[in-house]
Amino acid sequence: MSHGGARPQREAEARLAPLAGAWRSHRRQRRRRALLAAGLVLALLWLAAWVAQVDPRLIWSKGGNVFGYFDRLLTLEGGAEAGARVWHDPAEWFWGWRRWLRLLGDTLLMAYLGTLFGALGGLLGGLLAAGNIGPGRALRWTVTRGLEVCRTVPDIVFALVFVIAFGLGPLPGVLALTIHTLGALGKQVTELVENVDMRPVEGVVATGAAWPQMAGFAVVPQVLPGFLGYALLRFEINVRSAAVLGFVGAGGIGQDLIEAIRKFYYNDVAALLVLIILTVVLIDAVTSRLRFRLLEGHAA
C-alpha cells in the first residue's frame, strides 16, 4: 500500500491486464451460462403456467380466500363460545374424538398390516431379483419388472381399483399399501443383497445347502439390519398414505376427513388435521429412535 511512483503502478497494471482480462472473460462466460439456465427455467415456467392455466390475476382475486379459509378453520362454529378461536373450547372442537381415535387406530393398523405383508413379500422379491444370488435369469427378470410396476403405480391408484374389486373398507387399503410397499422395499432389498459379502454365501453353498437355506443363513443375516431400517421408514410413509386412502373409500381416517372438507365442517377439518399431524410426528419420532438403535446395534 505504499505510494509508489506512477511508473511502477502503470507497470503493475500492464502486468496484471492479461490476468484481469482472463478473469473477466471467464466470469463473462459463467454469467452467460447462468443467464442461459435462468432464461430456460423462466421459459419453462411460463410454458408450465400456460399449460396449467395458472393466472396471476387468479392469485390476486383468491388471495383473500386463503386467509379467510384458515381463519374459519380455527373459529368455533357452534357451542357456547361460537366465534372464538377453537382452542377456547377443546371439548366442542374435538367433539367426535372417540370415533376419530378409533379411525386413527384403524389407519395405523392399515399401515402396519400393509408394511408387514409388503415387507415380507419385498424381502422375498428382493432376494429373487438380486443379480448375485438370484436363482434364475428368467425368474429374476419377471420379479424385477413386477416390483417396478408395484413401485411406480401410486398406491391410491391401486386402492381405486381394489375398492371396485373388494368393496369399500380398509381391506382394499391394506392391499394397496402392501403392493406399493412390496415394490419399494423389494428394490431396496435387491440393492442390499447385491452388496453383501459373497464369501459367506460361497461357504454355505459349499456345504451343499439348497437356495432357501443359502438365502436364509448367508444373505438374510447380512441384510437384516438394513432391511429393518427401510421397513420402519416405509411404515412412516405408509402411515401418511393410509390417512388419505379413505378419500377413495379404502378405509381409515381419510373418509371422515374428505367428508369434512367437502361439506365445509371447518372445525372438524382442523381437528382431524391436528390429530393426523400429531400421529405422524409421534410415529416419526418413535421409528427414528428405533432406526437409530438398529444402526447402533449393527455397528457394535
Which residues ranging from 68 to 87 are in contact with other proteins (CB under 8 A)?
A: 69
Question: How far apart (Å, rounded) are the C-alpha atoms in residues 154 and 176?
Answer: 9
Burial of 209 (0-12, 13-18, 19+ CB in 10 A): middle
Instruction: By CB under 8 A, name the one of 86, 128, 150, 269 that touches other proteins.
Output: 269
H helix intervals, 130-219: 137-152, 155-166, 170-194, 198-206, 211-214
Q: Which three cell numbers stand for residue 171?
A: 381391506
Asked if residues 215 and 127 have their Cβ atoms less than 8 Å apart, the reply is yes
Q: Which three cell numbers stand for residue 49?
A: 403456467
Burial of 217 (0-12, 13-18, 19+ CB in 10 A): middle
Half-sphere exposure (CA, 13 Å, Cβ side) for 293?
Answer: 7
Least gap, CB of 5 to other proteins (angstroms): 30
Instruction: By CB under 8 A, name the one of 7, 53, 91, 98 that touches other proteins.
Output: 53
244 interacts with other proteins by CB under 8 A: yes
Least gap, CB of 203 to other proteins (angstroms): 3
Q: Which three cell numbers stand for residue 266?
A: 371447518
Least gap, CB of 138 to other proteins (angstroms): 17
Instruction: By CB under 8 A, name the one of 14, 51, 91, 138 that touches other proteins.
Output: 51
Instruction: By CB under 8 A, name the one of 146, 166, 265, 290 that touches other proteins.
Output: 166
Which residues lie across from 126 on neighbouring strands? none
153 phi/psi in degrees, rounded to 5:
-75, 125
Instruction: By CB under 8 A, name the one of 2, 15, 65, 299 that touches other proteins.
Output: 65
Instruction: By CB under 8 A, name the one of 74, 120, 273, 290 that touches other proteins.
Output: 273
Instruction: By CB under 8 A, name the one of 160, 191, 265, 290 that touches other proteins.
Output: 160
75 phi/psi in degrees, rounded to 5:
-115, 130
Least gap, CB of 15 to other proteins (angstroms): 25
Q: Which of residues 178-237 bind other proteins (CB under 8 A)?
A: 197, 199-200, 202-210, 212-213, 216-218, 221-222, 224
Kindly give, in sequence order, each residue whose CB lies less than 8 Å from that of residue 85, ignoring residues fewer than 6 positions away: 74, 75, 76
Per-residue interface string for the shown chain with other proteins, residues 120-159, x marking contact by CB under 8 A: -----------------------------x--xxx-xx--
Q: Which of residues 97-116 bind other proteins (CB under 8 A)?
A: 105-106, 109-110, 112-113, 116
Q: Which of residues 28-47 bind other proteins (CB under 8 A)?
A: 41, 44-45, 47
Least gap, CB of 265 to other proteins (angstroms): 11
Cα end-to-end distance, the chain, whole Å = 60
Least gap, CB of 276 to other proteins (angstroms): 7
299 interacts with other proteins by CB under 8 A: no
164 interacts with other proteins by CB under 8 A: yes
Instruction: By CB under 8 A, name the one of 35, 36, 58, 286 that touches other proteins.
Output: 58
Least gap, CB of 221 to other proteins (angstroms): 4
Kindly give, in sequence order, each residue whose CB lies less than 8 Å from that of residue 268, ignoring residues fewer than 6 positions away: 96, 256, 260
